[in-house]
Amino acid sequence: MKRVQKTPLDISYHLKSRRLEQEVENRTAYTIDTAELNIYETQHVAEKVELTFTNPVLASMIRGKKVMHLPGTPSFDLLPGESVIVPSEETMRIDFPEAQSQNPTQCLALAIDPDKVKQVTDMLNDRTPLVDNSQGWQFGQANFFLTNDEPIHQLIARLIYIFTENNQAKDVFANLVLQELMVRLMQTQARTLLLSSSSPLVNENRLAHIAQYINKNLSRSLHIKELADEACMSEPNFYRTFRQTFGITPVDFINQQRISLASKLLRTTSRCLADISVDCGFNNLTYFMKLFRREMGMSPAQYRKQSLF
């Protein structure tokens, strides 16, 4: 999907108290017992700046742009509203092509203690084990790029506030938010890896098979019973397993895939909205336009116009 701008992350408390000691990757660290939040500000163009953490890290952009170079991964731009999970002891090499003293690049790196990671993954493996997956829930085992959805964006914003406000109870507040953030990040990763139409696990994992089945049948009505039968599960078990594993309901996933297809058709064809709506499985044009605006932050017509530039 085309990148949609989100409300910028607020680091105003940080800016009140931080000291600028370096103009390339100036770092301010805020710590609790289970994590460290690092906020970096870069005021000059720089290339191949190296950064390594001993713990798994979530790196997110606040302002500006950087180019990420990670082992075994093609280089990619990281923009506000986007994040990447990087394993421990893996060196990130970063370019800052647009940093200026009057317009610094700002980003954060949230390093999480391995004991906290194990606590959360053990809890998930015990309470909501992954279907058709012997490895179970994992966090920070491999590079993972994601566009922050609204819940993840809000949780990152909340953590920034908690860390930088310096409340005496910040460890308690931060650990509660950190746990939810980790669960949502793992659900997002599982959804991306298993529910992709090109997933290599389609013949091994029932939910991956269902994702491909959905993508092949987006133009017609899809019902929970049909999907549950296809997955060889009861309806309640299918619905519960899908939601617990991926953090969204089957209906929400179907609608996301339909909006994704609609976005592609708006970018690549000149077909009218009514035809696109029908081809994407919507039998009500008004509902399609309402859902598109909710997911993409703009109307289909605005999206098409923006895509032309």
Q: Looking at residue 88, what is its pLDDT?
A: 95
The domain made up of 12-194 has a fold known as: Jelly Rolls (2.60.120)
The domain made up of 251-307 has a fold known as: Arc Repressor Mutant, subunit A (1.10.10)
pTM of the model: 0.85
Structural domain boundaries of the chain? 12-194, 198-248, 251-307
- For 88-102, 202-216, 252-266, 279-293, which range has the lowest pLDDT when averaged over its residues? 202-216
Q: Looking at residue 2, what is its pLDDT?
A: 43
- List, as one string, the DSSP characters of 126-179: HHSPPTT-SS---SSSS-EEEE--HHHHHHHHHHHHHHHHT-TTHHHHHHHHHH
| For residue 23, pLDDT beyond 60 | no
Contact by Cβ (8 Å): 112, 31:
no
